[in-house]
Structure 1
Amino acid sequence: MATRLVTGAAAACLALSLPAHAETDAASSLSLVSAQQVPSDAPALKLPEGATLERLASLDSPRMLHLTDAGELLIGSRAERVYRAQLTPDGSLSAVKTLVELSGYPHSLVVRGDKLYVATTAALLVADYSPGEALTRDDFRELIALPGGGGHNSRTLSLGPDGGLYLALGIQGNCSNQYLAGSDQGYSFSERRGGVLRLEESGDAPHWQPWASGLRNPVGLAWQPGREGEPRLLATNNGPDHWGYEQPRELVVAAREGSFHGMPWYQWVDGRWQADDCITSDSPRERDEIAPPLAEPPARSAPMGIAVVPPEHPLAADMDVVVAVHGSWGTAPSGNAAGDPASRREPRLLGLKLATPDTEARLVPVLTGLQDSSSGQRWIRPLDVLFGPDGSLYFTSDSGAAGLYRLTFD
């Protein structure tokens, strides 16, 4: 499908939500038109020309998505449930039903071989699994503990191209002295947070191996095929809120083995790392060791799930990935929650053309109109995104009109 581009006043309007360094001419934005098949009380939506939005199921607080090799769509939730549906060849789904009820916040899950792994806040659970079979809570056992605790309590699983299990977790707050790779610096197990872990399964018992550190709250993980055959792990990161409404921006990074991303000791502002004086401990790594980001969504927008756009997809010419932007509670101009709700960053689906050594990142709206411009009411808050084999884009919303949605393309 060829995409028609926004021009004139429409492009100027869209540019208002982009960062100052992003391109805002007609070539940077897809044409946006009204949606079909949306709830009758929804505000006017805008999405790519030829696309259709459908609400497939109403669910209680759904979170991360996982598509199995058998075509099952599995969904974690805040409601202590794991949901399941079967994907059909035409991209539609069977009825979404509860697969199992699990305590501890089953935020994300993956199937590997004949095992189902579920990441809760404090533990990685595992159960024997075959497609279509029923499960109960008693079928699960704790495979390995995780650094738990309050604050950012989601734990996101990803199955790597090497067959390994990778897991993202955040630090407790803005300035928590927590370091994921800190076993040699005196950090206790409960304080090893803020980045990506890899489950090391050789030896007598599994253990967590630090993969990438210095991320305040990474939620979305996605593997992007490399131009030279080496895949890289992309991660979204929610920045702190104590610097106000405009800075520092949210980040999308390449989480590589051994990479360090600065937080909470440093924040990425205006193209460089700046020290954050809210934390008094010394940074475990030097400033010149911090990896620069690949893209910078606006501050206080709360990027969550991320999906790599398939090479032949209609969106592929304009973006490398699609990110579910949840929209935070921060209001302008101070960034705290006490201001006008209409000034909060709006939830949306956002396409990103990632930075390369020769080009800057570019932000491209995909689905907008999810927040009322006068009241600030949000009727959808995207949480995770996933492309199906037929090119459909599935996403969850965990509040407002919570449930499972699908964007199809003409």
Structure 2
Amino acid sequence: MDFLARATAIVGGAMVLMRRAGAPRTAAVGSTPAIPPARNQGIMTLKMPTARGWAPGQRPMAAPGLSVNAFASGLDHPRWIEVLPDGGVLVAEALQQARPPKGLMDRVTQATMRRAKAIGISANRISLWRDNDGDGVAEQREVFLDGLNQPFGMALVDDRFYVGNTDGIIAYDFRPGMRRPEGPGTRLVSFKPGGHWTRSLIVSPDRRRIYAGVGSLSNIAEDGMEVEEGRAAIWELDLATGAARIFASGLRNPVGMAWEPQTGTLWTVVNERDGLGDETPPDYLTSVQDGGFYGWPYCYWGQTIDDRVPQDPEMVARALTPDYALGGHTASLGLCWMPAGTLPGFPDGMVIGQHGSWNRSTLSGYKLIFVPFANGRPSGPPRDILWGFLSPDERESYGRPVGVVVGPDGKSLLMADDVGDVIWRVTGE
């Protein structure tokens, strides 16, 4: 596999140089992005940096007026964060697990992903961290739940703790004063595992429903739509009745979700399809309508047809245009609402953890960004909060941003870094 990974890097490097010559120079970002025409690549660009991690004393770079420190370290692929009412910080530690390869391309992809620390043995646990002395560094660590199945999203509602495993939502009894949930847990909803495996969760403002992001199995439904049934969607679970339904669909891989408080609207970040070029189509941030359809796999950014896919004109006619483009292949995963005053100099808006690309000639993402909002809508260009996760020559990654939340103190951000195995804390200087 090491040989295959090295061979892939050599061949991939040649393809990258060839495609870079015609690559767009402007990122497709904002409410009215300039999206280049599709260029069907056939064999997709593979350019995934080797996972290096952080050297002692090394850390990301922060925007002026901000500082960053390691809140927790020594984790095993931290992906998602949930803050408990008592200030405890839960971290889901999980990793994509390799399936039996179907052919040479699968072997090549898996070898590349292992080099990038993107697949392997999953820790399958949720750890609990506490900063008891308030110095911004957690000194207490416990196992909160283990023996899970690629856990990701977490939610606490009254005396029940919910986990988004890759194959469904599990509920546990958890009352104030308990150190960890009791019992084996109860399955409330089942999802098809694999593919885009993350299952983010968010609780409705009235605490009556949970929403879950379920990504597609494939890039463009190349294995058929039957295996994609129930996927590429955001699900809604009614906690009182146990009824579950698809809330919105046509979302290739919706991961982070957040509520915009002024309008009470649900927003999500979505990873779009591969193989059409560096900026085509862009990943996006969008409001989510009940019953809304957002195009996948037939079309993107409204009714732009993907001619690699057998078409359904009725579904294309229904497709909604997303609200805000985030650039091509940024792998925008983490999302949280950040009220004005949380960090100095930042108004109301959304914070987005961009995991970073692996499939474009010049890499994108690999940073934590902020999109300002006004009157319930994005209101300006994105601003960088953290960067420096990628080496200047793009050959190595020190870290990769994933989940992000407002810290327990309300004056900081916590961000999971699943290559650096760190939870970073961002505050004012």
Alignment partner, residue 282 of structure 1:
312
Alpha-carbon deviation of 1:119? 0.8
1:242 to 275, 300, 303: 275
Question: Kindly tell me: are residues 281 and 75 of structure 1, through their superposed partners in 2, closer, same or farther at Cα, counting changes over 3 Å?
Answer: same
3-state SS of 1:285 partner = helix
SS at match of 1:99: strand
Structure 1 stretches lacking a partner, 5+ long:
1-15, 24-37, 180-186, 333-342
1:50 is aligned with what amino acid? G
Aligned alpha-carbon RMSD (Å): 2.9
Shift of the 109–314 alpha-carbon distance from structure 1 to 2, 3 Å rule, reads closer
Q: Secondary structure at the match of 1:259?
A: coil
CA distance in 1, matches of 2:68, 2:254: 27
CA apart distance, 1:149:
3.0
**Residue 55 (structure 2) pairs with residue 55 (structure 1):** no
Distance 1:107 1:245 in 2: 28
- Matched residue, 1:209: 245
Q: In the TM superposition, what whole-angstrom CA distance separates every residue of 1:21-61 from its partner, at most 9, and x where no partner exists? A: 699xxxxxxxxxxxxxx853637x43122321111222101
Q: 1:357–1:265: structure 2 CA closer, same or farther, 3 Å change rule? A: farther
Judge conservation of contact 1:91–1:390 (CA < 8 Å) in 2: no
- The question of whether the paired residues in 1 share the 8 Å contact of 2:217 and 2:227 is answered with no
* CA deviation vs aligned residue, 1:341-367 (integer Å, no higher than 9, x gap): xx3224100111358799864121111
Q: Does 1:156 align with 2:200?
A: yes
Please list, as runs of the form range in 1=range in 2, the aligned pairs for 1:81-160 lying within 5 A after superposition.
81-86=125-130, 90=134, 92=136, 93-131=138-176, 133-135=178-180, 139-160=183-204
Q: Give CA deviations for 1:123-168 in whole Å, capped at 9, x if unaligned.
A: 21111113453447x7132322322132101111111102111111
Task: Return the alpha-carbon distance in structure 2 between the equivalents of residues 282 and 177 of structure 1.
Answer: 15
Equivalent residues in 2 for 1:325-340, closer than 5 Å: 325-332=354-361
Query: Is the aligned partner of 1:376 residue 2:395?
Result: yes
Contact 2:168 / 2:188 at 8 angstroms: preserved in 1? yes
Q: Number of aligned pairs?
A: 352
Q: Deviations over 1:170-222 (max 9, x none)?
A: 1111212899xxxxxxx86971111211102444xx23122111100011011
SS in 1 for 2:70: strand
Match of 2:232 in 1: 194
- CA spacing shift, 1:169–1:56, aligned 2, 3 Å: same
Superposition TM-score, scaled by structure 2 size: 0.74
1:260 partner SS? coil
Equivalents in 2 of 1:130, 1:202: separation in Å?
Answer: 18
Amino acid at match of 2:63: P
Structure 1 length as normaliser, TM-score? 0.78
Could you say which residue in structure 1 is the equivalent of 2:44?
A: none
Name the aligned partner's letter for residue 256 of structure 2: G
Give the 3-state SS of the residue equivalent to 2:245 in structure 1.
strand
Which consecutive unaligned segments of at least 5 residues does structure 2 have? 1-24, 33-53, 95-122
Secondary structure, in 3 states, of the residue corresponding to 2:397?
coil
Residue 402 (1) aligns with residue 421 (2): yes
How high is the sequence identity, in percent, across the aligned residues?
22
Code of the residue aligned with 1:247 in structure 2: it is T
What letter corresponds to residue 277 of structure 2 in structure 1?
G
Q: Distance in 1 between matches of 2:295 and 2:360?
A: 25
The CA distance in 1 between the partners of 2:58 and 2:298, in whole Å, is 42
Call closer, same or farther: CA 1:283–1:168 in 2, change over 3 Å.
Answer: farther
Matched-pair contact (CA < 8 Å) for 1:76–1:108: yes
